[in-house]
Chain A
Amino acid sequence: MKIECIIDGKILSLAINSNKPLLDILTENIDNESILVKCRGNHCGNCVVLLDGEAVLSCLVPAFELRSKTILTFEGFSKTKNYRDIERAYNSTGHKPCQYCYNSKTLLIESIVNRYSITNTLPDISELISEMNIIKCNCLDIHSFKEIIYTTISYRKRRNVRKS
């Protein structure tokens, strides 16, 4: 099956099996090194990517759903200004995910921040707990996670105000 999609800003045309999971496409066909695991749908949460700006588990997205979609992996995201906001929030709060889940948690934070930086609201703790449960790594507690997100949102808003 031939599929055209945008991965990390590059327009790609891939000839792959129609039911191949996005995770396998990224690791085998594109040699993306930012995804470290292959849990094969066991919900470990370490394969998060942004599909049209929303965090998804790449092991649960089949190839045929990728037609004309935009995929952003940590490899591409780490070169953006939005990543700098999150990195600054890690440094200023003093909390940082472990090496194992760093990429996935950063992308998850980006999708939450994206959702809330448009509106003038902040996510509540119950929503953050359920969001955090996607990734099965306990390196960050919920209060540190919340602190990182709130700080990133404030940085993002400040940057957007300056831009406008």
Chain B
Amino acid sequence: MFESLSSPNIHTPQNLAEYANTITHYPQSSLWAFGSSIMDSENFYPNLNANVEIIYLGLIDELYKFQRNDRAVEFGSMVNLNEMLTSGKSILPQVLIDTLKSIGSFSIRNRISLGGAIANKKFTSALIGTFYILDTQIELRYLKKKRLHNHFFPISKLVEKNGELILPDTSLISRIRISINSYNYQYFVTVDDPCLATSNAVSLAFICNLEQISTTNARLAITYPNKGFFSSRDTDMLINNLQLPIEPSAQTEIINKILNQIGAEFVLNPIQLDRTTKLLSSLMNNLNYTIFTTTHE
């Protein structure tokens, strides 16, 4: 019906050298992994003002690589979430596996690339919060003085104070390095679908080491898809060295303090606020339950 419209030029580099060549010639191009979140925008097709250059990353072999050593696992950014789940099943931290499983269904995860899930501008994926607490590093390839440079950045360097991920223009996420640290308590829970209910969904990721009856190295991230994610040292301090079990009055006090800290950065709607309270409360109850079962074994 709209065949008379000019259609975007599609560049299909077969390797990173070809990609470098293409991006230096067309620095304003859109990078395309699986494109699900681009295609569901209302005016994607037909669109008179569509970006005229698209670089399709699906044929670059280097972006599908998977490597591991004693300290870390590296995934190429075009690896889809199912492949990541199957190849990393025995190595990846449980909190990350739970996060991956919470995203869509098998068929949907097949069409979500790791790089796309991170760089998506429409909403913040729960993956970013989980990556943040796991000290994940992202390799970026970016243009500088007409040359393509690459560098690993810790994810904490790429997020703004409000939890929004900032990637330099014309940069490509090529690899993700996840460190394999062993935490003996990992917890992930999500409410609602972050892709479809972006304004109400909330997810919480938490890791710590339980030593006897206290928590150490605790890290918490709460993701609001329409706003960003919340994680701060002050919050981590609050839940670090907690003596378990946590009494109900202490629980309320901690939750209120965390909510105040979140309130300083985000304006949450009543549903998100209520869900955050309940997720924090369920985390504390789960901590109590875990310590109860381990001490009574």
Contact surface of A with B, Cβ cutoff 8 Å: 1, 16-21, 24, 28, 40-43, 54-56, 59-62, 64-65, 108, 111-112, 115, 127, 130-131, 133-134
Contact B42 A19 (CB under 8 A): no
Q: Which residue of A lies closest to B4 (CB)?
A: A17
Contact B39 A59 (CB under 8 A): yes
Q: Which residue of A lies closest to B104 (CB)?
A: A130
Rounded to whole Å, the gap between the CB of A131 and the closest CB of chain B is 4
CB contact between B108 and one of A18, A24, A134 (< 8 Å): that residue: A134
Contact surface of B with A, Cβ cutoff 8 Å: 1-3, 5, 7-10, 12, 35-36, 39-42, 44-46, 50, 54, 56, 58, 104-108, 110-111, 193, 195-196
In the bound assembly, the distance between CA atoms of A24 and B10 in angstroms comes to 19
Contact A60 B45 (CB under 8 A): no
Q: Is the interface of A mostly helix, strand, loop or mixed?
A: mixed
Contact A131 B45 (CB under 8 A): no
In the bound assembly, the distance between CA atoms of A111 and B108 in angstroms comes to 12
Q: Which residue of A lies closest to B6 (CB)?
A: A17
Q: Which residues of B contact A55 (CB under 8 A)?
A: 107
Task: Identify the 8 closest CB pairs spanning chains A and B, nearest first.
Answer: A41-B40, A17-B7, A130-B105, A18-B7, A131-B105, A64-B10, A55-B107, A60-B39
Contact A1 B10 (CB under 8 A): yes
Contact B36 A60 (CB under 8 A): yes
Contact A18 B3 (CB under 8 A): no
Of listed A19, A55, A65, A133, residue having the most chain B CB within 10 A: A19
